Chain A
Amino acid sequence: MIIPTSYYLVLSGVLFGLGVVAFIFKRNVIAVFMSIELMLNAVNLAFVAFARAHQQLDGLVFVFFVIVVAAAEAAVGLAIVIMLAQNRESLNVERVNLLKF
């Protein structure tokens, strides 16, 4: 029995929505970063599902690149988080408001 592609896509949409909710609701800067990773994962699931539906390998290659970009982003982003924690002595994103209007 083959699972319809739409099931995967709905799961991907739900995970992406939860990632957006987490991105907006979380106050800890590390948790905000993790919600970005959650959104990237949701998109990867949609890529793989479409790759299977269309019998094309390009989707899988794109997932590979997304994972590479996510790893690079995590490395630089966490370095920024460490700098932020040293300068502000807080991980709360509300405290980082120098550019806030």
Chain B
Amino acid sequence: MIVPLIVFFACAALAVTGAILLILAREPIHSALSLILVMVSLAILYLLLGAEFISAIQIIVYAGAVMVLFVFVIMLLNAGVEERTDFSKFAKFAGLPLGFFLLIEVARWMYGASAGSAIVPGADAFTQAASTRALSAELFRKYLFNFEATSILILIAILGALVLARKSQ
């Protein structure tokens, strides 16, 4: 039963490759496509973790709605090749090492934090508990107020986008 491990490493490699391509791409549309690669491989990882509902909304909301919005704006603005500007000396000599230090430190800390939480054998039990039915019970009972608050948030976002997009007279 080594298959999950192979799937995990394949998806992890795809996700990291997509993230690196996002940084290296000169055209915004290429960045957007590599970000979609990252999101789809993360959706497969969620399936592997037994969270089907999260995997589905990752595809529908993220890879679908949000990225379509991004691609739409890129096409609308006809965004071409990114201009390169010189880094300041401070960014070159202090920023890069500090950035890599942060990367290593975060990875090390997370590895240490997870060493204590031993792996639970009952992945099947979790898959059963994390079914969409159980998740919806949690969402609509325990987190009902938060759920309603997000609808207000979305309403405000729609109004904000409308106000910004309105033609100024």
Contact = CB atoms under 8 A, between A and B. Distances in A.
A17 B117 contact: no
Nearest to A95: B83
Interface string B39-73: 10010011011110110011001100110011001
Contacts of A5: 114, 117, 119
A11 to B, nearest CB: 5
A55 B150 CA distance: 25
B42 A72 contact: no
Contact of B22 (A1, A4, A34, A46): A34
A8 B42 CA distance: 10
A68 B99 contact: no
A91 B27 CA distance: 12
Nearest to B95: A24
Interface in B76-118: 76-77, 79, 82-85, 91, 95, 99, 102-103, 106-107, 109-111, 113-115, 117
B35 A52 contact: no
A76 B155 CA distance: 11
Interface residues of A, number: 73
A13 B106 contact: yes
Given A64-B57, A74-B70, A12 B38 contact: no
Given A18-B23, A25-B23, A53-B117, A11 B106 contact: no
A80 B70 CA distance: 13
Contacts of A14: 16, 19, 103, 107
B95 to A, nearest CB: 7
Given A8-B49, A82-B165, A53 B22 contact: no
Given A20-B103, A76-B157, 20 more contacts: A3-B48, A4-B119, A5-B119, A11-B12, A13-B103, A15-B15, A17-B103, A31-B22, A38-B35, A41-B42, A45-B46, A52-B49, A55-B126, A60-B51, A64-B54, A71-B66, A71-B157, A82-B77, A82-B165, A92-B83
